[in-house]
Structure 1
Amino acid sequence: MADDEGLPDFEVPVGLFQDLEDLKAEVARLSGQVRQLTDGIIADEGVPAADDQEPAGDEEEGEGDGEEEPQFPPFILMLDSPEYDDELRLLIEWVEGVLVPGYLAEPSSDARWCHMWFEHPVAVARLHALWLAWQELTDPATCGYTGPSTWHRDHLDPCLRELRPSTGPYAGCTKGEHQVDHRLPGLVPSAWSRPEE
């Protein structure tokens, strides 16, 4: 083996061969999907697709893979009962169990909070969005270790700045008193019509 004298002396890890085989299998699978997609386009145009039977089986596997992806909960305001009620119940558990004891100080005129927050639609919408972000950003599998910091900076702080000021959704609520209708606008006359004289 005189040809081997110029090559460096090192061993190829066994895992490298396995990785190559995995890559070959993945390329073959993707090539099959491309072929299925192009055959589907040709079939839609009225031209008969080649290998019509084989891609159909592969296509079902591809669709099955898509259905196995994790399903994310919809935004709470897009839900109807009973799904809305179930999601609100879970949100209440999180707000009362995590947010209130961990992040909310005593309410004041500058930092309001309503004990009936779940009756304020604006608060429910903002807190639900905050909770969805918390679920994603406190899981190291989805966000790494910087997720909680991002959640505080990008989600918690802005949410509390919008909910707790004296002009926020709890503006009419004081300690022990709850008022939902304070944010609902009354009848506003149109700027384009003139009062009849």
Structure 2
Amino acid sequence: MADEEVPDFEVPVGLFQDLEDLKAQVARLNAQVTTLTEGADAEPGEASAEAEADAGEEPADEDEWQYPPFILLLDPPLYDDELRALIEWVEGVLVPGYLAEPSADARWCHLWFEHTPAVARLHALWLAWQELTDPASCGHTGPSVWHRDHLDPCMRELRSSSGPFAGCTKGEHQIDHRMPGTVPSAWRQETS
């Protein structure tokens, strides 16, 4: 058997990228499973130092790392701070880099932050961008995954003729075309 030849075949370059993406996903899932199985003493959304070490990262202080909160779950002043940071990202990265001139088929409102559904979607998009543009946590395929799985679907929903900007036209802002944006109490975290 020592005389057998090893078959000669080429491994596609994309296979290595897919492998790195899968390894990052497994590390994140392991961290989530560890966090969920550790017990009720851990705060929801808090990553443990052991889970981070298992994921191949340096352990951090308990207070140093937490999963970012979804913006609609925040109350002022935390909501205001998160919205300010989101506005900086949308106006500094998303709008100049990805949005073409608005049209009837691709709507956009310059007062997007007054549309609760748009804030929710853009915040989720921003959270994904933060995670998937960090090669340490997601490998080198993260930006591609962000474009395919997050940016494109989000922009389709936001900019469609039935999206949150449906009543807005160039130079005219409308928020009354939607029901008032109240967050259901089930979405809010109970603070005691």
Report TM bin, short chain: 0.5 to 0.7
Partner of 1:125: 120
Partner of 2:83: 88
Select 1:142's aligned residue among 137, 141, 153: 137
> In 2, Cα distance between the equivalents of 1:105 and 1:180?
22
Select 2:109's aligned residue among 114, 118, 139: 114
> In 2, Cα distance between the equivalents of 1:174 and 1:147?
34
Q: Deviations over 1:42-86 (max 9, x none)?
A: xxxxxxxxxxxxxxxxxxx98x97826621210000000000000
Partner of 2:95: 100
User: Which residue identity lines up with residue 103 of structure 1 in the other structure?
Assistant: Y
Q: 1:65 to 1:105 in 2, by over 3 A?
A: closer
Partner of 2:159: 164
Q: 1:173 to 1:72 in 2, by over 3 A?
A: same
Contiguous gaps of at least 5 residues in structure 1: 1-36, 38-60, 186-197
User: Secondary structure at 2:141's aligned position in 1?
Assistant: helix
Give the structure-2-normalised TM-score.
Answer: 0.61
> In 1, Cα distance between the equivalents of 2:116 and 2:110?
14
> In 1, Cα distance between the equivalents of 2:118 and 2:106?
14
Q: Deviations over 1:75-108 (max 9, x none)?
A: 0000000000000000000000000000000000
Q: 1:66 to 1:179 in 2, by over 3 A?
A: same
User: Which residue identity lines up with residue 109 of structure 2 in the other structure?
Assistant: C
Give the structure-1-normalised TM-score.
Answer: 0.60
Aligned-pair identity (%)? 79
User: Which residue identity lines up with residue 163 of structure 1 in the other structure?
Assistant: L
Q: After TM superposition, which residue ranges in structure 1, 4 or more long, deviate above 4 angstroms?
A: none
Count of residue pairs brought into register by the alignment: 125
Q: Give the drift of 1:120.
A: 0.1
Partner of 1:73: 68
Bigger Rg over Cα: 1
Partner of 1:177: 172
Q: Give the drift of 1:181.
A: 1.1
User: Which residue identity lines up with residue 126 of structure 1 in the other structure?
Assistant: R
> In 2, Cα distance between the equivalents of 1:65 and 1:100?
34
User: Secondary structure at 1:92's aligned position in 2?
Assistant: helix
> In 1, Cα distance between the equivalents of 2:107 and 2:131?
27
Q: Deviations over 1:143-167 (max 9, x none)?
A: 0000000000000000001000111
Contiguous gaps of at least 5 residues in structure 2: 1-37, 39-48, 51-58, 181-192
